[in-house]
Amino acid sequence: MMDELTMVQRIAVWILPVIFAITVHEVAHGWVAKKYGDNTAAAQGRLTLNPVKHIDWLGTIIIPGLLLLTGTGFIFGWAKPVPVDARNFKKPLHDMAIVALAGPISNVLMAIGWALLARIGVTIGASAENVSLPLIYTGIAGISINLVLALINLLPIPPLDGSRVLTGILPHRLAWQYNKLERYGFIILLILLYTQVLNAILAYPMYFAQNLFFSIAGLN
């Protein structure tokens, strides 16, 4: 459906879903960290939905913008990570895994919200297309970006959230060795993206998840 939109319309449709997906993801980490005893993010004013506090120019603006302009059909991004100090947790590895999961879970919940918004657009239908179509298009964008962020962040590549969960499961010695990969994580992710390996890894789970959420939206 997005193919019929002009570039300006695509930007208008995607901008809010992308900003909210990235911002709420980071706030979720900080909020859960605070619940488990770490106030670092709160003390630095990062428990806010104000996107200015979370914007990373490369991950929030440049990368999503380039992916949108090049029409890859695969859009993702990131914000400045909220600071979390695991030393404030009672059970550092376990609690850090829970904090890590909060991000992808927030994206799934947002995908549900965007699906319901699209459902409203579908219900309105052709009787008021100037209202229904923006709701449907924005809902599709919201579903897509949030599912992509959830799935990418569950990959076990340090420092993605999936690696924090895996660290909480691995024996301490092995976890320490595994986390040495963190310095190469961004490079690994870019290589996977450039070589289309990331698309291949995410293709089936993304297809399944999109079908599920598009059904909720009434688009299937």
Catalytic residue numbers, as ranges: 26
Interaxial angle between packed helices 92-124 and 129-153, expressed in degrees from 0 to 180 and rounded to the nearest 10: 160
What distance in Å separates the CA atoms of residue 175 and residue 99, rounded to the nearest whole number? 17
* Omega prior to 159 cis, within 30 of 0: yes
Angle at 137 between CA 136 and CA 138, to 5 degrees: 95
What distance in Å separates the CA atoms of residue 181 and residue 187, rounded to the nearest whole number? 10
DSSP 160: S
